[in-house]
Chain A
């Protein structure tokens, strides 16, 4: 396959996200820029200008009318997707590390950093879908996770709870209405770098700096699968159609000096979701891969790297023909 190279950022990518239909790809980076691209040919649709700090996260609602970005300038901004206009800004005490729309788009969760005496928190805000409406500044709930700060978070199905991943490797389930902790497990030994839900949000995949990625069931937080690699992982995604997961990360610190000379060495690793075996790799990035997102139809995927490039890959026919031989 011939990946399309998107050069819209001058600094490393922090997150990329497809919209619900998959025709738009949002990319955010440390260079304060939010880009939106047409995913089928890589044509840039526009940029959202307004943030003055590194942007850590982006989320888009299911009708692709609103998008929310969280930045290190202590603000989360709501934008109208079509025009690029900033509809509302929420100010926080510390940097915003993660944003996510709920399944019905009525709410959004914002994970804020722990810094300078302010504890990390997860803030639940309500969103009005009408573009011209005034958004409420008052959060529905503020959750302060005890112990380790939250790094990543996402919603369960039907707004039942939120799942958070923490710096010490724990995963917790919170009731967003009350702010109570429902359940918590500690499957990882280092900080969680990414958390992505399956299509129906009944299970999710987490990636961690402890060089492993795991799949858990959302309701019970019971571990389902584990993928152990040799490099700290920055992102993990589940592919629809084919039973794969895509993992991306850095390189083991020891090997940087020996293999770093060859360009385009950093790889997205494809693992079989069920059989927990690596099945292939896609090279191309010039730096560690920071974020991976899969098209909702399973026909393509994109990766954003430390090198500032986004690579959009459309799978060949033999990707879909691949099957494990009968044992």
Chain B
């Protein structure tokens, strides 16, 4: 598309309007047609600033139908009446770049399907137990989903570790079709409503509260201290609003509750920065 990389009729020089310094402003035209304009200014902080602008004017000639060329000369009418030539910025703007990636698929989706089927095979070995009725199906697929309450709180906690990998692969599988282009958000391991709210709820179960922290503890310190127990999904360090020093406690959310439990066991009573830390479940 022919795009002129030039400034419009009102040049930057008019906008500047400030006094030029003693140093001369330079105008030079290179062999390649690039015009270099150097200008010296004092900016807001009182510092001398050298501004170099390189401008290249390209004239692109396209052959168009004679009628098309005539139409270009038409006078504007309606809401555009009286407006000057060229696109009006209130109605026309250039959007950000989009990429049309043309691909002959088939190969890509085969790979993702293999990963999914491999995962499924791994999980077939484990026993799938419904929390509501203890049947041989996922809790979400339970026929008594709306009627019975979960039987045991503890077993929920334990099985949550087992169930999430199951739940995540099944939606991914159903969305990939045979030999079709799969957009990024629908591919395996993508974000869906169930995983989104599910992960938020799960995170709260895998969150520990660590107290008796020293004042100069930072999020990074907490992160470094707890990362050896497993992957951390979030660290929240309580800070005083005015002074920004640590208030003495923090919340660490792990991805897996088991990791949170391990961290709890290990850090509770651990000495850090001359203070004995105390760790508890956040709930």
Is B152 on the interface with A (CB-CB < 8 A)?
A: no
Q: Contact mask A1-44 → B, CB, 8 Å, 1/0?
A: 11111111000000000000101100000000100011011111
Is there an interface contact between B71 and A279, defined as CB atoms closer than 8 Å?
Answer: no
Is there an interface contact between B95 and A282, defined as CB atoms closer than 8 Å?
Answer: no
Is A49 on the interface with B (CB-CB < 8 A)?
A: yes
CB B129 to nearest CB in A, in angstroms, measures 28
- Chain A neighbourhood of B92, CB < 8 A: 4-7, 37, 41-44
- Chain B neighbourhood of A7, CB < 8 A: 90-93
Is A280 on the interface with B (CB-CB < 8 A)?
A: yes
Is there an interface contact between A48 and B78, defined as CB atoms closer than 8 Å?
Answer: yes
| Cα A259 to Cα B183 with chains together (Å) | 12
Is there an interface contact between B102 and A319, defined as CB atoms closer than 8 Å?
Answer: yes
Is A277 on the interface with B (CB-CB < 8 A)?
A: yes
B101-120 CB contacts (< 8 Å) to partner A: 101-106
Q: Which of A84, A259, A279 contacts B78 (CB 8 A)?
A: A84
Q: Which of B88, B91, B93, B95 contacts A284 (CB 8 A)?
A: B95
- Chain B neighbourhood of A267, CB < 8 A: 183
B176-201 CB contacts (< 8 Å) to partner A: 179-181, 183, 185, 191-193, 196
Is there an interface contact between A277 and B78, defined as CB atoms closer than 8 Å?
Answer: no
| Cα A324 to Cα B106 with chains together (Å) | 12
Is there an interface contact between A21 and B67, defined as CB atoms closer than 8 Å?
Answer: yes
Q: Which of B64, B74, B100 contacts A82 (CB 8 A)?
A: B74
- Chain A neighbourhood of B2, CB < 8 A: 40
A4-B93, A258-B193, A278-B105 given; A283·B181 CB < 8 A: no
A6-B91, A41-B87 given; A46·B105 CB < 8 A: no
CB A242 to nearest CB in B, in angstroms, measures 9
| Cα A278 to Cα B184 with chains together (Å) | 14
Is there an interface contact between B104 and A83, defined as CB atoms closer than 8 Å?
Answer: no
Is B65 on the interface with A (CB-CB < 8 A)?
A: yes
A5-B92, A7-B90, A83-B77 given; A279·B98 CB < 8 A: no
Is there an interface contact between B80 and A44, defined as CB atoms closer than 8 Å?
Answer: yes
CB B252 to nearest CB in A, in angstroms, measures 27
A249-290 CB contacts (< 8 Å) to partner B: 257-259, 267, 270, 277-284
B46-103 CB contacts (< 8 Å) to partner A: 64-65, 67-68, 71-72, 74, 76-81, 86-88, 90-103
Is A127 on the interface with B (CB-CB < 8 A)?
A: no
Is there an interface contact between B72 and A38, defined as CB atoms closer than 8 Å?
Answer: yes
Is there an interface contact between B80 and A47, defined as CB atoms closer than 8 Å?
Answer: yes
Is there an interface contact between A4 and B91, defined as CB atoms closer than 8 Å?
Answer: no
Q: Contact mask A299-311 → B, CB, 8 Å, 1/0?
A: 0100000000001
CB B106 to nearest CB in A, in angstroms, measures 8
CB A244 to nearest CB in B, in angstroms, measures 9
- Chain A neighbourhood of B87, CB < 8 A: 41-44
Query: What is the total number of residues of chain B having a CB less than 8 Å from a CB of chain A?
Result: 44
| Cα A300 to Cα B104 with chains together (Å) | 21
- Chain B neighbourhood of A311, CB < 8 A: 95
- Chain B neighbourhood of A259, CB < 8 A: 185
A42-B92, A43-B87, A49-B79 given; A283·B98 CB < 8 A: yes
Is A64 on the interface with B (CB-CB < 8 A)?
A: yes
Is B1 on the interface with A (CB-CB < 8 A)?
A: yes
Is A325 on the interface with B (CB-CB < 8 A)?
A: yes
Is there an interface contact between B78 and A64, defined as CB atoms closer than 8 Å?
Answer: no
> Chain B: which residue is nearest A268 at the CB level?
B100
Q: Which of A37, A49, A280, A324 contacts B100 (CB 8 A)?
A: A280
| Cα A42 to Cα B81 with chains together (Å) | 16
- Chain A neighbourhood of B72, CB < 8 A: 23, 38
A21-B68, A45-B74, A47-B78 given; A258·B90 CB < 8 A: no
| Cα A311 to Cα B180 with chains together (Å) | 26
Q: Which of A6, A24, A270 contacts B71 (CB 8 A)?
A: A24
Is A97 on the interface with B (CB-CB < 8 A)?
A: no
A2-B97, A5-B95 given; A322·B102 CB < 8 A: yes
Is there an interface contact between A5 and B78, defined as CB atoms closer than 8 Å?
Answer: no
A23-B68, A43-B92, A258-B196 given; A280·B79 CB < 8 A: no
> Chain B: which residue is nearest A315 at the CB level?
B100
Is there an interface contact between B78 and A324, defined as CB atoms closer than 8 Å?
Answer: no
The 3 closest A-B pairs by CB, nearest first: A47-B78, A84-B77, A46-B77
**Residues of chain A having any CB pair with chain B under 8 Å:** 1-8, 21, 23-24, 33, 37-38, 40-49, 64, 82-84, 257-259, 267, 270, 277-284, 300, 311, 313-316, 318-319, 322, 324-325
**Residues of chain B having any CB pair with chain A under 8 Å:** 1-2, 64-65, 67-68, 71-72, 74, 76-81, 86-88, 90-106, 179-181, 183, 185, 191-193, 196
Given A278-B105, A314-B1, 7 more A-B residue pairs with CB atoms under 8 Å apart are A2-B1, A4-B93, A4-B94, A23-B64, A41-B87, A44-B80, A46-B81
